[in-house]
Amino acid sequence: MMTSAAKPKELRLNAFYMNCITHQSPGLWRHPRDQTQRYTDLDYWVELARTLERGYFDALFLADVLGVYDVYGRNAEAALRGAVQVPVNDPMLLVPTLAYQTRHLGFGVTSILSYDQPYAFARRMSTLDHLTKGRVGWNVVTGYLDSAARASGRGKQRGHDQRYAVADEYMEVVYKLWEGSWQDDAILRDRDSGIFADPGRIHKIVHEGEYFRLEGYHLSEPSPQRTPVLFQAGSSTRGRAFAARHAECVFIAGNSKTEIARLVSEIRQAAAGHGRDPRDITVFLSAVAIAGRSRAEAQSKLDDYRTYGDVEGALVLQSGWQGIDFGAVPLDNPLSSARETVTQAHDRSDRAPDPRSVRQLAEAATLGGGAPLLLGTASDIADEMQSWLEEADIDGFNLVSAVAPETYVDFVDIVVPELQKRGVYKRDYRSGTLREKLGDRPRLHASHPAARFRHGN
Ligand SMILES: Cc1cc2nc3c(=O)[nH]c(=O)nc-3n(C[C@H](O)[C@H](O)[C@H](O)COP(=O)(O)O)c2cc1C
């Protein structure tokens, strides 16, 4: 009798990083081996991208924020003092160079749609898609800092759910530009007739909506992927609804396998409700991996890293993310006591209460923003990763750095060979665009909302 063992799920990996000194591990820039202060130097980025490609990472995922973290203490001083996501440079501008220096690595770029008009943004993404030969993704975010709204001439951000309503319409506009303006057969390149493109196959987009009005042609010729691979990271009820409609890759954060399993199942079910295949959504969980050639080596790295953690910096980030001024309450108070210091409209009522004290939250958050810690030998880390994939139904990880680029170099040298040996991780890249590498498909599936703007549909 033939037995057929289920094929293990293929693990997906992104490096979760940012064009700044402190992404999610405040204080670690002070570690003697940390090199994040070289973030203004392209050599640093090229070295990092090559390391990731050597380890067959799917993408370098670049987070971004506009605005400073000024919720903590109601000013930006602690953020500026501790280099907490400020100074921060534009992630998009790194991509062409890094694409030129690599062959397969994808680039997930965060761009905050609240401050970027869709017409010009759509062209910028198409340009990147051309220059990377289809290796670009877009992390769709609406921003969460009022400081960005004030810096852009608005007093305050829109409310949480309204930001998603604007985002839904923004997506419609960019889909129209990317998918609906130029037909696949619009370009003739006919030297004899002198016709480069057939104007009859290039359509003017007219959009009259609640938040956007536009009348114009997309300016770029069709790029390899048209719509870049869409990443999204919202976990509220409204955020999940948005992800279920639009996202191809979803980022989530959390420490409990049961809770993450519930969230993933809700996201997949909601996608099915939109007529999409729930498996078309690739789910990445934030995690920080500290690998050693022995458990003792990994533990001593962790102990060493922890001595550099900046508790105040962690609270600066948490204050910005949660819209709560954690500087206004004593460190040993329960987190619930800080709720009264809410300064920004963040609807987190659907989250379970956190029983920890402010100090406990901050100490945990100094390393990778409090993401699950994968610690130990290659085999320990591979076991833990596989257990997350099986129990929580995620597809892979967004690996945050502790000390950069050391975290990634260690992962590639120590853990990747073990994952490959187990048959859960690629030994080579697939050819093609980022979308083809992730899911074997050149264009967005016909069930995706962008597809209805294509000609011939
Ligand atoms: C893993 C992860 C990564 C994120 N990265 C960014 C980012 O780079 N820039 C940004 O503005 N927001 C980022 N966010 C915030 C989300 O886009 C979103 O604003 C936030 O999760 C609140 O949405 P929600 O209320 O629907 O959960 C991230 C969130 C998560 C969980």
| Domains of the chain: residue spans and CATH | 12-308+370-450 (3.20.20.30)
pLDDT band at 9 (very low <50, low <70, confident <90, very high): confident
If one residue of 116, 141, 260, 397 were mutated to test the ligand 1 pocket, choosing by the most ligand atoms within 8 A of its CB, it would be 141
CB of 284 closer than 8 Å to CB of 232: no
Report the pLDDT averaged over residues 71-96: 98
Q: What is the pLDDT of residues 145-186, one digit of tens each?
A: 999 999 999 989 999 999 999 999 999 999 999 999 999 999
Percent of residues, the chain, with pLDDT higher than 70? 96
Look at residue 100 and tell me whether its pLDDT is greater than 60: yes
| DSSP H or E stretch at residue 120 | helix 118-131
The CA distance from 294 to 292, in Å, is 5
- List all residues 6 or more positions away from 153 whose beta carbon is below 8 Å from its beta carbon: none
Task: Determine the distance separating the centroid of ligand 1 and the alpha carbon of 143, expressed in angstroms.
Answer: 8
- Residue-wise pLDDT for 304-318, tens only, equals 999 999 999 999 999
- The closest alpha carbon to 225, from 456, 12, 445, belongs to 445
**Residues contacting ligand 1 via CB (< 6 Å):** 63-65, 110, 112, 139, 141, 143-144, 160, 233-236, 238-239, 251-253, 286
With cut-offs at 50, 70 and 90, classify the pLDDT of residue 426: very high
**350, pLDDT greater than 80:** no
**Hey, which of 114, 140, 235, 242 would you mutate to test ligand 1's pocket, going by the most ligand atoms within 8 Å of its Cβ?**
235
409 has pLDDT over 70: yes
Q: Round to the nearest angstrom and report the end-to-end CA distance of the chain.
A: 48
